[in-house]
Structure 1
C-alpha cells in the first residue's frame, strides 16, 4: 500500500500509473511496427511513415520520463519524495513541442504534393504548432509569468490552434481534389481524428484548472485525459498515415498493388 492520503489515494495512484504504462507500451510498439513496416509502401511515401515512427518514438521516451517522475513524486517507496510539486509537467510539453509539428509534417508528406505547395503549408503550420505549445505550457504548469493567469495562457494557445485548423481544413483541403475517392475518405477521417484529439487537450486543460493549488482529482483527470489523447493523436494517427501511404502506393504502382494486395 502507498501511504498517499495527503495527495493521491491508492486507486488514483494506480490509475495514473497504469495510464502512463499504457502510454509507454502504445508509443513504443507503434514505433517498432512503423519502422519494420516502412518497406511496405513505395519510397516516395516512406518519409511520412518514418516521421510517424519518429513521433511515437519521441513520445515513448517522454512517457518513460513522465513515468519515472510520477513515481518519484508520488510513491513513498525507494526514498521518493511524495511531493506533487516534484512531478515535472514539462516533459509533456517538450514532447508536444517536438511531436505536434512533426504530426503536421507527416500529414503533408503523405499527400506527396509539389515541393512548392508542401513548403508553403509547412512554413505556416510548423511555427503555429510550436507557438501553440509554448503558449499553453505556462498555464498548465501554473507558472506565474508576467502576472498572466492560466486561463489567459489557454486562450492565447487557442489562437494558433484555430489557425492550424483553418489551414488543415481550408488550405490543405483544396489539395484533396487530386486524391482518389478512397484516399479522400481516409484523409477526412485523419482530419476528424486530428481536430477531435487536439480539441480534447484544451478540455482537459480547463477541467484540470484549480486556483487553490494541487487537486488529486484534477491531476488524475489531466493525466488520464492527456494520455488517451496522446495515444489517439500519435499512435492511431500514425497507423492511419501508414494506411494512406499503402493505399496511395497501390494506386501509383500496379505491380506493387499486385504484390501487396493479393487475394
Structure 2
C-alpha cells in the first residue's frame, strides 16, 4: 500500500515525552485488560449460573483486547527510532492502528451478547436480535477500518467512510436503548437506576471512538497522535473493562434478588437490609448460562 495510506503516527516527529506517553498509554491498555481477565473469572463464582456468561465473556474480551494492544505496543516500539533529537518512523517499519480494529471485531460482538444476557432477553428474542447487532457492529468496524487508511491520503475519503460507519453505529445505539427500556419489565425495581445509567454510559464511551477517528481531520502532528491514542485507551478501558465490571455487579445484584445465596453473601448484610430478596425467590434460578444463550 502507498505510504500515504499509512496512519498519521508514521509521518510525525515525536519529542521524547510524546513518544513515551503513547508507549505508556498502550502499556496501560494491555496491562489493565490482561490483569482483569483473572478478576472476571474469579467473580463469576458468585453469580447465578444463568448469568455467568456475562463475566466469562468479559474475561475473553480482556484477553483479546490485552493481546491486541500488546501487539500494538510492540509495533510502536519496533517502528519508532530515536534520531538524537526526536522519535521518527524507521523507514523499514510501519505503525498501524488496524490492530485495534481487529480487537474490536472480536470484542464488540461479545460486549453486545453479554448485555443481552444481563438484560434477561428471552432466548428466542436473543437469537433473532443478536445476529443483527453483530452484523451492524462488523459493518461499523470495517467501514471505519477502510476509512482510517485515508487519514493522510484524503481526509474527504476518510470522512465519507466515517459517515458510512456512523449508520450502523446509530442502529446499535437505538437498539441498545430500546432493549434497556424493555428490560425494566424483567428486572427488579431496585435495579432500574442501573438500567437508566447504562445508556448514557454506553453512548458516551462508544461515541469517544468516533471522536478519536476524527482527530486526523483537525491535525496530523505528534500532539494529535498522542490525543488520539489517549482517547482510544480511555474508550477501551471504559467500554470494555469498566463496562464489564458494571454488568458483573449488575448481574450479581440480579442473582441476589432472585435468591441466589452466594450472590447475597457476596453483597453482604447491607444488601438484605436495603434491597430485600423477594419472598417468593428462595432458590437459585434453574436456568444455566448455556440455556440463557
Asked if TM exceeds 0.5, the reply is yes
* Partner deviation per Cα, 1:28-47 (whole Å, 9 max, x = no partner): 11111001221010111111
Q: 1:5 to 1:92 in 2, by over 3 A?
A: closer
CA RMSD of aligned residues (A): 2.7
Say if 1:21 and 1:67, in contact at 8 Å, map to a contact too. Answer: yes
Q: What is the SS of the residue equivalent to 2:52? A: helix
Q: Which residue matches 2:113?
A: 105
Report the number of matched residues: 256
* Structure 1 range deviating more: 224-233 or 85-94: 85-94
* Partner deviation per Cα, 1:86-121 (whole Å, 9 max, x = no partner): 002110000011111111111001122210111122
Q: Which residue matches 1:261?
A: 267
1:71-90 alignment, distance < 5 Å: 71-76=77-82, 82-83=90-91, 86-90=94-98
Distance 1:84 1:153 in 2: 29
* Structure 1 range deviating more: 38-47 or 116-125: 116-125
Q: Which residue matches 1:183?
A: 191
Which one of the candidate residues 33, 36, 53 is aligned to 1:27? 33
Distance 1:161 1:99 in 2: 15
Q: 1:127 to 1:259 in 2, by over 3 A?
A: same
Q: Which residue matches 2:147?
A: 139
Gaps of 5+ in 2: 1-9, 270-293
Q: What is the SS of the residue equivalent to 1:86? A: coil
Q: Which residue matches 1:70?
A: 76
Gaps of 5+ in 1: none
Q: What is the SS of the residue equivalent to 2:268? A: coil
* Partner deviation per Cα, 1:175-212 (whole Å, 9 max, x = no partner): 3222112322212222222111011111111122369x
Distance 1:40 1:6 in 2: 49
1:1-263 alignment, distance < 5 Å: 7-76=13-82, 82-83=90-91, 86-142=94-150, 149-209=157-217, 215-253=221-259, 255-263=261-269
Structure of larger gyration radius? 2
- Larger RCO (CA within 8 A; separation ≥ 6): 2
Q: 1:83 to 1:253 in 2, by over 3 A?
A: farther
* Partner deviation per Cα, 1:151-186 (whole Å, 9 max, x = no partner): 001000000000011111124422322211232221
Say if 2:120 and 2:183, in contact at 8 Å, map to a contact too. Answer: no
Scaled by the length of structure 2, what TM-score is found? 0.80
Q: What is the SS of the residue equivalent to 1:253? A: coil
Scaled by the length of structure 1, what TM-score is found? 0.88
Say if 2:30 and 2:70, in contact at 8 Å, map to a contact too. Answer: yes
Q: 1:249 to 1:231 in 2, by over 3 A?
A: same
Say if 2:119 and 2:180, in contact at 8 Å, map to a contact too. Answer: no
